[in-house]
Each structure stands twice: as structure tokens, then as C-alpha cells.
Amino acid sequence: MSWLFVDKDNDVFENSKLIQFLSKISNEKLAIIFLALSFVCLWYESFFSSVGIRFVEGFNFAIIFLFLSFIFCDKKRLKLTKAMTFLLLFVMVLLISGLWAGICGLAIAMIISGIFLFCQFVLAFVISSTFRAKNTVINLLLLISIPLLLVGCYQGLSGQTTSRLWVSTAENLVQARAFGFFGSPNILGGLAMITVIIAVSKFLSLKKWWYLVYGIIALLALVLTFSRSAWIGLGVGIAAALLIKNWKLIFISPLVLLALIVPSIKQRIFVSLSQSYMIDAALDGRVWSFNTAMEIFKTSPIIGTGPGTYGGQTAIYFNSPVYLRGIQNGYVALPYTDNQWLQIAVQTGILGLITIVGFFISHLVNNLKRYFKTHEYLYLGVVAATIALLINGLFANVLEFGAVSILGGVYLGLGNYHE
């Protein structure tokens, strides 16, 4: 188990000729600036469009800035940790699965888009792993997120009715869900979930009051998204962090139940536990999606059906024929898996699932080691964020949301290198 998941001090790229060549172009300040610009584009593109500022059609500037950040990051600081190894193996599985899917006649554009979506997270993790100025990166992330979170708070508190597609018919008390500038409240929920953890870990580390203010704003925005998956993710992540810091602190966790005093929150939680909700889930919801996904998984269990081919926006856009392998011969009650790990299992098979699970296990183990060794709250925050992403991913395709996956990749990457 240690050989599989625990880092060794000599696992570095230092003798790699490729890394030595790439390291000739290196400027951490420029890398951080381009990374910040990437987040501005990711989080505010819709806002820019609404005020008449439109990007060049066909250019994804967020990704272009992310690649520029990689070009200028210090590649000499890349460390081949076990987490990095599992991520690189995951990319290899993506390529093999995609190649086979292409040979089988599936649309090449769909496969490339599917690979690209997952590689956003990988690239963000790699870039962030190289940064020395970790505090600068964290401060920039928090500052850039504040306007977006404030807009979310306004949307939730203003009482303006949002799309009824975002709530079930039984949730008559939920009139508005905060969504920021995104097409779904769950995207803002995932973003706010990670931001709360970042802000709280910095507050515990530096005891500066403004980090607590950041955390409160992010928490309010998260609550107002009414994203149950993000609520659960944050709750489990924070509970785990409390248990790791001091097991006695876990006894304060039940205080979160005070949120049930708010009628709309109580209704949002208990609706998901009702019999009628479970019946709906079995007919055209998450239970139905799980059953049909498992049926498709059986058709290609080793390397999957191919990146982008099932359970997400890419598959829907390209009208993926993989849906025809489902339990109802192409009938799609719910085109999304609403489960990131189930989607990865279908698209990349057992090999893809093993490598991505290996990444999360190794990253958790080694950041726990670093926290117990240094008692730096950054590593405890990374542990909490990793757990939160894992839990959130059980109910949403978090790695498909660039706004969430790149943020998660950057924050987790900060815990990949220990001085």
C-alpha cells in the first residue's frame, strides 16, 4: 500500500531532458497572472457578454490563458508524486480509450472534447504544483471570486423566482437558487464549496479577519444555491478536517443541524428523502441514470466507451450513439449521469476508475502526512477539499464544470509539493 500511494523524496523529474528544455521558459509571476486571467474568463464570461463585451468566437480564452500559465510555470519544480503518477496514468487511459472509440467509428470531435474536459483538471493541478508563491495564488483566487459570490448572494436574497427546472414540484418554499453567471446553481455551489474551505484554512493559518469574511460570503452563496451535493460535500469535508485536527471537535458537527430551522433548507433536504422523490428518481432521475449507466458499462468494462461519449454535455451535443446501449435502447430520461465517478467508469472503464481513485487516495494520504508533519493548515484544507470534491462528485459531474474542476485542480495542486 505504501509503494502504491505514499510519496518518496526522490520522486522528481530533475533528470528529465524534456523538463530541462521546457524549464528554459520560466516566470512564476507571469504564470500566476495568466492563471488569474483564466479564472476571470471562466467565471465572468457570461457577465462580459451581458454588457456587450464578447470574446472572439471559437476561442476559449480561459484555456488559452491556462496553457500560457503552464508555459511560464517553473517545470523544474514538477514532482512525480504518486498523485501525479496516477493522474498521468489517467490521461494515458483517456488516450487509449479515445483511440479505441475512434477506431470503432465514434465522432473524433466528441472524443477530443471529452479528453479535453478531463485534462483541464490535470493541467490546473500540474501548474499549481510548481508554485512557490502559494499565498499569492490563494489570495488571487479569493479576490477574483468575491464579485461572483456577491452576485450569487444577491440572487438568493432578492427573492426573484429562478427557473422551476432547478427545483422539484414539491419544493414550493424554494423560489430562488443562486447561480452567479453560470447555467446551473450546482456550478456555483461547487465553486463556493471549495472557496469556503480555502478561506477557512487561511483564516486558521493567519488569523486575519478578512479571510473569515471571505468564508462567510462564500458560505452564504453556497447555502443560497440550494445545491444539496455541494452542501453534503462541504459538510463531510469539514467534518473530516475537524476529526483530523482534534477528534473532540467532531462533537460540534451537529451544530450544522441548526440550518434545518430555515423552512426552505429543511424542505430541500427532506424532499430528497421522501418516497415520491425516490419513485421519480427511479423513473427518470439518478436511480434510472445509474441503472442505464451500469448497463452501458457492461458493454465495455475495461477501457470504456470513450471520453465524452456518455453522461455529459459533450455526449448530448454530439448525440452520442452510446446511449443506444442503455436499458431502454436510446430512450434518455436523464442524459446526465449526475455522478462524476460513474461517468468516468462508463467512459474509461475499470482502468480509468482505478487511476482516478488512486489519485484521490494518494493525494489524501500524502497531504495527511504533510499536515501531521508541519501542522500547516494548507494541507488540512487540501484534505478537506479533496474529500468535498469526492463527495460532490457522487451527485454531480464536477470535472465537466471548468469553473469548478480548474479551481479544484489548482487548490489540490498546491498540496502536491512540499518544500
Residue 212 has pLDDT above 60, yes or no: yes
Query: pLDDT grade, residue 8 (50/70/90)?
Result: low
Instruction: Say if residues 230 and 190 touch (Cβ distance below 8 Å).
Output: yes
Residue 328 has pLDDT above 60, yes or no: yes
Instruction: Say if residues 387 and 214 touch (Cβ distance below 8 Å).
Output: no
Percent of residues in the chain assigned helix, strand, coil, to nearest 5:
70, 0, 30
Instruction: Say if residues 394 and 387 touch (Cβ distance below 8 Å).
Output: no
For 160, 161, 174, 334, the CA distances from 164, given in Å and listed in that order, are 12, 8, 9, 17
- pLDDT tens across 12-25, in order? 555 566 566 666 67
Instruction: Say if residues 193 and 233 touch (Cβ distance below 8 Å).
Output: yes
- Residue extents of the structural domains in the chain: 2-413
Query: pLDDT grade, residue 231 (50/70/90)?
Result: very high
Amino acid occupying residue 373: K
Query: pLDDT grade, residue 60 (50/70/90)?
Result: confident
Could you tell me the pTM of the whole model?
A: 0.91
Quick one: DSSP state of residue 414?
Answer: T
Tell me the three cell numbers of residue 306. Answer: 470513450
Q: Which pLDDT does position 160 carry in this prediction?
A: 74
Measured in whole angstroms, how far is the alpha carbon of residue 190 from the centre of its chain? Answer: 7
Q: Which pLDDT does position 178 carry in this prediction?
A: 93
The whole-number average pLDDT for the span 236-265 is 81
Q: Which pLDDT does position 78 carry in this prediction?
A: 83
**Nearest C-alpha neighbor of 44 from the set 153, 146, 155:** 146
Q: HEC string of 256-279?
A: HHHHHHCHHHHHHHHHCCCHHHHH
Query: pLDDT grade, residue 45 (50/70/90)?
Result: confident
Instruction: Say if residues 315 and 337 touch (Cβ distance below 8 Å).
Output: no
Q: What percent of the chain has pLDDT over 90?
A: 66
- pLDDT tens across 166-206, in order? 777 777 788 889 999 998 999 999 999 999 999 999 999 99
Tell me the three cell numbers of residue 181. Answer: 453567471
- pLDDT tens across 269-321, in order? 888 777 777 777 777 778 888 989 999 999 999 999 999 999 999 999 999 99
